[in-house]
Amino acid sequence: MKQQIFTRLLCLVLVLVCALPALAWAEDTSRSYDFDLSVGGQQEVRAATGETVTVTLVLKRTDMAESAEMYCMQTEILYDDSFFKLVEGSIMTAPGVRWSDMGRRTGGRAFYLNFVSFSGGEPWASEVTVGSFQMEVIGTKGVSSLTPENSIVSVQSGTDHYTMTDNPVTVIVTTDCTVTFESAGGSEVPAQSVQYGEKVKRPADPVREGYHLTGWYTDLDHTREWDFKNDVVKGNMTLYAGWAEGAAPTGGGSPTLWICLAAAAVVLAVLVLLPTVKVFDLVRQRSTGTTGAPKTPEERRCLRRASLVCGTLLFVASAAQQFGLTLNPSTAKAGFLTAMYVVLVPIFGLALGRRGSPQLWLSVAIAVCGLYLLCMQNGFGGVERSDMVLLLCAVLFSFQIMAVNHYGPQVDGVRLSLRQFFVVAVESSVATLLLEHPAPAEFAVNAVPLLYCGVMSSGVAYTLQILGQRDMNPAVGSLIMCLESVFSALGGWVLLHQSLSPREGVGCVLIFAAVVLAQLPAPQRAERAS
């Protein structure tokens, strides 16, 4: 019995002795590595045609940060030789690493990097720069990648391999991508040409009888909605319209809270203009001995009348613009239609006996062409209810511009601006109480935009409009005011790094040219010889 027990124990020991190397082997072969290609630490870079990029290959152990004996390593670098050209003599390698050109391969060209230890293994850190090389970009347009392939890290016997992950580097030459819109039964939406890495401009919503649009999606199952504010284009793509039956929900009778937010903005404008009036009075009193305050009952009545007319027109015009945007969120189309006051002001001026010169009408025509190129990237499409509302907005803004031109020389400009905004604040507050139910959180979320709109867009801008129009033809004033679209596009390009297409650039130039042409001295007709 004792002999049997001893024999069994001896067998168990022998099994354990034999198993320990196997366990160690199994643990050893569980290592994992990454082959990372990068340019300046980035795995996606932009480069111009003819530019040379330096590519670095790093072997990184990913299971743990621990050095180990390296017996054998190899990888192949595959590249499109119609897009890249390997710079001769640029390949630099770590000690013991050799390279050789493998020539043409399926998909391009490749070269080979390998390391073999002939001394039973050499210590390598957990992260080693295997080598670097330079590639000249010869492609003129598109996207291409340099890819490590057939990568191996092995033990001395060369029979067992570790887990490998190959990470390519992508080089992008500025290229245009086509974004197609599939309206799924709705009205047609034109495709857009968008540069790689740029944002898609939200198109005008298509129309489908009995349905409302829920959004644009990257897949037919409508699981991933495209975010026009943040998502960028990574190649040719199609966006699919999502639909729901019935009319769009209105959120309890109030689609937005734009009236109350507008009211808050003009209240801020009033608060800013109150001390501004005092400052202007002090300056004027020191220079002329008088203030801008009305001195007779007739002047006071004129100021009240001017404030009521200009303020009411400004309120209803702004309300029409915002309501039009709620019907159709296409800001580009809204900007074009609203700016049609540049045409309407001189037309309405004809009814008042103001005959514009041929030079002025030519300027208006050039400005309209510029506005169309700048704002209407995808054409008009069909005429919608929102278009009628925005055209009404343009008419109302035309009346407001002409009212300012009429009353501006008769009253103090800063006081007119103050009282105009007081009228807007009262009327928008009444509209808010009747139509909307704002929560305090709405004002907190929009605090910064409200502050800017109240102080700069309202208080400063409209005050300058009143002061600037005192001695100016209202048609010329409307031309200058349509530069708003130009500075909006240029501001987005410079400050927000938005794309500015050549078409939009031409539109900006045309509008500037129209403004300059309108203010050039009119050519004098030669007197007829007696």
Phi/psi for 142 (5° steps) reads 130, -165
Number of residues written out for the chain: 530
> 353, 297 in Cβ contact below 8 A?
no
Q: What pLDDT sits at residue 27?
A: 42
Cα–Cα distance, 146 to 89 (Å, whole number): 18
Domains of the chain: 31-173 (2.60.40.680), 176-245 (2.60.40.4270), 258-519 (no CATH)
If one counts every other C-beta atom within 10 angstroms of the C-beta of residue 475, the result is 27
Q: What pLDDT sits at residue 14?
A: 43
DSSP assigned state of 292: S
Q: Give the dihedral sign, CA 221/225/228/234.
A: negative
Q: What pLDDT sits at residue 32?
A: 83
Residue 264: closest CA among 445, 449, 454, 462:
454
Q: What pLDDT sits at residue 251?
A: 39
Q: What is the pTM of this model?
A: 0.48
Phi/psi for 198 (5° steps) reads -100, 170
Cα–Cα distance, 34 to 62 (Å, whole number): 7
DSSP assigned state of 446: T
β-bridge mates for residue 240, sequence order: 182, 217
Q: What tokens were used for 514?
A: 């129209």
Cβ neighbours of residue 410 under 8 Å, at least 6 residues apart?
A: 302, 306
Residue 63: closest CA among 123, 126, 121, 21:
126
Q: What pLDDT sits at residue 528?
A: 41
The stretches in the chain having pLDDT less than 70 are 1-30, 155-161, 174-175, 246-261, 325-336, 375-384, 436-446, 450, 457-459, 469, 471, 492, 496-500, 522-530
Q: What pLDDT sits at residue 212?
A: 84
CA distances to 7, 301, 311, 466, 470 from 280, in Å: 112, 21, 21, 15, 17
Cα–Cα distance, 446 to 118 (Å, whole number): 69
Q: What pLDDT sits at residue 30?
A: 64
> 371, 332 in Cβ contact below 8 A?
no
CA distances to 6, 45, 199, 472, 499 from 496, in Å: 83, 20, 12, 34, 9
